[in-house]
């Protein structure tokens, strides 16, 4: 019998037995659940006490439309909301700017000001829901708007729970929704850490993300290694800014993909926890066990969804979600089966949530902690992935760390090579994709996708015009000048930013104030 290869390019043997774990020390490699090295999970009881947070990613068109979807999700049993923002918001532009034309409300909700944020969360109790916001370059701005709306609801900042992605380094690697150069971007991340420590203590200040790198083609080992390398850079930046590691590290969180390759994904999550725990303890001297924990959110693999025979995606998502749960995720978003075609319909979003509920309440995988502990194959894969992750982390350190490697194009080039190989394998038939290159239909069944109102840009422009005519122009100008002075100095920029947003400055205006001081980033060619 010959061995196959997993997604990370490591061999998978046809049969595993005791020899695969010869010399393997469970006390060293596993430990107890909730204790170093956290291979078996970050909490002692994991899902035997309560299930993971079931999040559903939503946001499209106007804030009012997204608000209605959130209320439907809450009615269906979800208390973890996950907000998708449109591209102009992600890039720090207002909906009425020329560059935003044709993109308003398309891939997420358009948020231009505190008025939009009020509408987005109107009638939703912010002291009882946990909200994750997928936003990076302007993450601090959206967090401050959320805090302001909470205050208007009478919810104090210490009652707010949730996460902002705030992971700017992966934008330079995989997504491209960056604004500022790396150095001021890292300063902004550190300012968020410090601000939340004082003002919003339960908030997860960053979700260090491998998901988008995986969607761009990164292998599981690359996904984890490049994500942890970014995490190291954030920790170093925070320490250099004067923060103590055990003050901010407990609020760090991560974000990974779950693919259909079930066994490797389980092993990937376990290896990631082990590597991060070692880094935090040995490199940064973190003494608080919470600082050593790799807590993470998972989203099922959007890149593996197909427009052909879209109902098959229900099966893919169920397997991917199961892998995330068996790997010990803290929260989970399951993609809707129609996301390869358009924004999810209400029925598709409900089915995606029901997928998680079936795993949580109809299977027995939540009855015991880390069901695959001691498995010959999973433990062997975990060790193999750990070694490959360490190898890649060593290469990044040799290049001067994550930021230097990004500036040299290393991670981007590695991901592009991996993505090209996957494409070649699919095109050549070596990799089967059901409904695409095998088990196809002569004629696809018709499907009616959800469509976004094309007049949303005009509606948002009208809202902005009213906002600007009703607010105090002098107050906004003074507040934006304070933002610029803080950005040019060394103080925490979030405090003047909050005052500007409270005075009804827009997302674009605050972003442009920072652009004036910090400039914008121009990418380099690949490694």
pLDDT tens digit sequence for 223-271:
999 999 999 999 999 999 999 999 999 999 999 999 999 999 999 999 9
- pLDDT one-digit tens code per residue, 58-86: 666 789 989 998 998 899 888 788 898 99
Please classify residue 408 by burial: count the beta carbons closer than 10 Å to its beta carbon, then call 0-12 exposed, 13-18 middle and 19+ buried: middle
Q: Give the pLDDT score at 525.
A: 62
Q: State yes or no: pLDDT of 483 exceeds 90.
A: yes
Confidence of residue 179 (pLDDT cuts 50, 70, 90): very high
Give the mean pLDDT of 479-496. 98
pLDDT for 450: 65
Asked if the model's pLDDT at residue 273 lies above 90, the reply is: yes
Q: From the centroid of its chain, how far is CA 362?
A: 28
- Cα distance between residue 44 and residue 457, in whole Å: 49
Q: Which tens digit of pLDDT belongs to each residue from 120-162?
A: 999 999 999 999 999 999 999 999 999 999 999 999 999 999 9
Phi, psi torsion values for 299, nearest 5 degrees: -125, 140
> What is the mean pLDDT of the segment spanning 387-394?
98
Average pLDDT in the chain: 95
Give the mean model confidence (pLDDT) for residues 398-420. 96
The pLDDT score that the predictor gives to residue 186 is 95
Rounded mean pLDDT of 407-422? Answer: 95
Q: Identify which of 210, 106, 145 has the alpha carbon closest to the alpha carbon of residue 460.
A: 106
φ, ψ dihedrals at 73, nearest 5°: -65, -40
The pTM score is 0.92
pLDDT(341) > 90:
no
527: pLDDT strictly greater than 60 = no
Say if residues 303 and 62 touch (Cβ distance below 8 Å).
no
Q: What pLDDT, in 10s, does the model give residues 47-56?
A: 999 999 998 7
Instruction: Give me the half-sphere count of Cα atoms (radius 13 Å) on the Cβ side of residue 122.
Output: 14
Q: Which residue has the higher pLDDT, 349 or 487?
A: 487
Span between the terminal Cα atoms of the chain, in Å: 38
The sign of the CA dihedral 277, 282, 286, 288 is positive
Q: Point out the least confidently predicted range of 177-191, 283-297, 446-460.
A: 446-460
Q: Which element (helix H / strand E) includes 276?
A: helix 262-278
Residue with tokens 């370059």: 137
Q: State yes or no: pLDDT of 6 exceeds 70.
A: yes
Cβ distance 257 to 299 under 8 Å? Answer: yes
The Cα–Cα gap between 248 and 191 comes to 11
CB 21 within 8 A of CB 379: yes
- Read off the pLDDT band of 339 (50, 70, 90): confident
| pLDDT of the residue at 2 | 60
In this prediction, residue 288 carries a pLDDT of: 98
| pLDDT score of 462 more than 70 | yes
Among 467, 494, 483, CA closest to 111: 467
- Position 79 scores a pLDDT of 78
3-state DSSP: the chain helix, strand, coil percent, rounded to 5?
50, 10, 40
pLDDT at 77: 87
| Average pLDDT rounded to a whole number, residues 487-498 | 97
Predicted local distance difference test score (pLDDT) of residue 445? 75
pLDDT in tens, 180-205: 999 999 999 999 999 999 999 999 99
Q: Is the pLDDT of residue 526 over 60?
A: no
Interval 459-475 mean pLDDT = 97
Q: What percent of the chain lies above the pLDDT cut of 90?
A: 89
């Amino acid at each position: 019998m010959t061995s196959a290869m997993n997604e990370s390019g490591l061999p998978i043997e046809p049969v595993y037995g005791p020899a695969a774990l010869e010399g393997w020390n469970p006390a060293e490699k596993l430990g107890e659940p909730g204790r170093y090295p956290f291979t078996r999970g970050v909490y002692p009881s994991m899902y035997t006490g309560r299930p993971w947070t079931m999040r559903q990613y939503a946001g499209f068109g106007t804030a009012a439309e997204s608000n209605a979807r959130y209320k439907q999700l809450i009615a269906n049993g979800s208390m973890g909301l996950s907000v998708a923002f449109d591209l102009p918001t992600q890039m720090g532009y207002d909906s009425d700017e020329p560059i935003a034309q044709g993109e308003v409300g398309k891939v997420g909700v358009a948020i231009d000001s505190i008025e939009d944020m009020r509408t987005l969360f109107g009638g939703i109790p912010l002291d009882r829901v946990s909200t994750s916001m997928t936003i990076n370059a302007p993450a601090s701005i959206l967090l401050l708007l959320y805090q302001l709306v909470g205050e208007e609801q009478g919810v104090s900042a210490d009652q707010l729970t949730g996460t902002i992605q705030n992971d700017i380094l992966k934008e330079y690697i995989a997504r491209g929704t960056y604004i500022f150069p790396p150095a001021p971007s890292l300063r902004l991340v550190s300012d968020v850490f410090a601000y939340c420590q004082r003002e919003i203590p339960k908030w997860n200040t960053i979700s260090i993300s491998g998901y988008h790198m995986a969607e761009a083609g990164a292998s599981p080992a690359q996904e984890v290694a490049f994500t942890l390398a970014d995490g190291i850079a954030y920790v170093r930046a925070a320490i250099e800014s004067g923060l103590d590691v055990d003050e901010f590290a407990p609020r760090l969180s991560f974000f990974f993909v779950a693919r259909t390759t079930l066994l490797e994904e389980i092993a990937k999550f376990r290896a990631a926890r082990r590597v991060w725990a070692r880094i935090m303890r040995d490199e940064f001297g973190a003494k608080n066990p919470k600082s050593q924990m790799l807590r993470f959110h998972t989203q099922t693999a959007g890149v593996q969804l197909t427009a052909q025979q879209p109902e098959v995606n229900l099966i893919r998502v169920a397997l991917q979600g199961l892998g995330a749960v068996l790997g010990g995720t803290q929260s989970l978003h399951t993609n809707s089966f129609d996301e390869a075609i358009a924004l999810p319909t209400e029925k598709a979003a409900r089915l995606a949530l029901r997928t998680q509920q079936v795993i949580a309440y109809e299977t027995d995988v939540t009855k015991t902690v880390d069901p695959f502990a001691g498995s010959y194959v999973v433990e062997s894969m975990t060790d193999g992935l750990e070694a490959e992750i360490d190898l890649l982390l060593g290469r990044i350190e040799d290049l001067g760390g994550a930021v230097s490697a990004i500036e040299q194009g290393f991670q981007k080039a590695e991901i592009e090579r991996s993505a090209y190989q996957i494409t070649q394998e699919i095109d050549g038939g070596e990799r089967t994709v059901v409904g695409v290159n095998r088990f196809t239909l002569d004629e696809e069944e018709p499907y009616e996708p959800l469509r976004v109102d094309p007049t949303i840009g005009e509606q948002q422009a009208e809202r902005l015009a009213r906002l600007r005519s009703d607010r105090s122009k002098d107050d906004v100008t003074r507040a934006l000048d304070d933002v610029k002075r803080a950005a040019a100095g060394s103080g925490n920029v979030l405090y003047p930013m909050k005052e500007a947003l409270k005075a009804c400055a827009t997302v674009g205006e605050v972003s442009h104030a920072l652009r004036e001081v910090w400039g914008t980033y121009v990418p380099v060619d690949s490694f």
